[in-house]
Structure 1
Amino acid sequence: MARDITTLQEMLDRIGDSGDNEGRVSLGKIVDSVGDRSFGPLLLMVGVIAASPLSGMPGVPTATGVFILLIAMQLFLRRDHFWLPKWLLRRSLAQDKVHKAIRWLLPVARFIDRWLRPRLPALIRGGSIYLISFVCAAIAVVMPMMELVPFSAHGAGLALSAFGLALISRDGLLALIAFAVTAVSFAVVIYQFG
């Protein structure tokens, strides 16, 4: 059994090593290599999109909301990793392109890893996973409304990114910060519609 991933750098290294003999890296191999940490990277990816200027484009918050809901439901069901259809898992990229992207991401991962560490484990284990998945589902449901409130999706994106990083690094303090950012984001939306 493979050792558990605890840093972004380890996750990127494992993704880089997931190629086949033909020099291709399939999405299925990436999901298998990351294992039970696949929810963290997915939340991080969606969070970065929601926190970026892309979330100002019409339809982007709603589309990300649908994807977040899929992630949250499977996280709530405690699946080993994110389920995707087989035809999508077979999609692949050239291994050299994956390695180029990893080389570009490694300095960022090393910087972030310096700040993350396993702490406050009660906030990212057991029943807390249900709470994280519920909060992510609530963010997903509110995302379409965030299209009407300028910059509110950015706060939700930061919260989702923090949840993703917390799940990857087993950092309960970061999960606590994500809960706080979510509460502030919801307060802004409620204030705007109240």
Structure 2
Amino acid sequence: MLSHLLTTLIDDIDGDTVTLRALLEASGRQGMLLICALSSLPFLIPVSIPGVSTVFGAAIVLLACALFLNRLPWLPQRILDKPLDAARLKPVLHKGVAVVRRIDRWVQPRWPALTGWTMLRVNSAMLAFGGLLLMAPLGPIPFSNTAPAVGILLLTVGLVQRDGLFVLLGYLGLVLSVAYFSVLGYLAWTGGSMLWG
């Protein structure tokens, strides 16, 4: 179960701060997808931790690119070694795992064509796109981080547990995120036009 893997990874966090490097080293061979799932958890609940969306969003993009190229990931040192406040991050991650635990009961291997090697590049590209959406500088706007985070989580759940239905749900989540961002952009543009007019 993905929730068990994530709980174990979070419980192993020691000290006042944690870095992405430490999380990657602790997550083993499944690390890339596991870190992508973990990186979406802080945004499932309305709590803002400064700097987290940039670090985790960039990590998702770079890890997804590594999956796309079918090679080991390369991450810049300033992303790998940026200290994050463990005391604030761990409780948020555990709350995110509670969401994953509810999802776990519905996950099962199905529709293997959507999770196999032939779809690797498409799925990786969508994951990278989700990471870019997560990095968008819209933090103060409600659900601007939550919407892409849900898509990323559903997509990674589907890939880790070979569930094509959840891969499709992840795609849907990312499409809805783009629609939400488009509406925000339209409202901002029309509001600005009215002010200038």
- When residues 146 and 186 of structure 1 are mapped into structure 2, their CA distance, relative to the original with a 3 A threshold, is farther
The one-character-per-residue Cα deviations of 1:35-93 (angstroms, maximum 9, x if unpaired) are 2x323211210111232334x4554323322111111111111236x5679xx8xxxxx
The CA distance in 2 between the partners of 1:51 and 1:140, in whole Å, is 14
- When residues 146 and 120 of structure 1 are mapped into structure 2, their CA distance, relative to the original with a 3 A threshold, is farther
Q: CA RMSD in A?
A: 3.6
Number of aligned residue pairs: 160
Return the offset for 1:171: 0.5
Superposed, 1:1-194 pairs within 5 Å as 7-8=1-2, 11=5, 30-32=26-28, 35=29, 37-54=30-47, 56-79=48-71, 112-142=103-133, 143-147=135-139, 149-194=141-186
Does structure 1 retain, via aligned residues, the 8 Å contact 2:110–2:162?
A: yes
The one-character-per-residue Cα deviations of 1:123-165 (angstroms, maximum 9, x if unpaired) are 1112322112111222222322433642121011111111221
Question: Structure 1: 5+ residue runs without aligned partners?
Answer: 1-6, 16-25, 89-103
- Structure 1 residue identity aligned to 2:151: A
The CA distance in 2 between the partners of 1:185 and 1:10, in whole Å, is 28
The CA distance in 2 between the partners of 1:45 and 1:162, in whole Å, is 12
- Structure 2 residue identity aligned to 1:44: A
Does structure 2 retain, via aligned residues, the 8 Å contact 1:124–1:170?
A: yes
- When residues 78 and 149 of structure 1 are mapped into structure 2, their CA distance, relative to the original with a 3 A threshold, is same
- Structure 2 residue identity aligned to 1:161: L
The CA distance in 2 between the partners of 1:146 and 1:170, in whole Å, is 32
Question: Structure 2: 5+ residue runs without aligned partners?
Answer: 10-21, 81-93, 187-197
TM-score of the aligned structures, taking structure 2 as reference length:
0.64
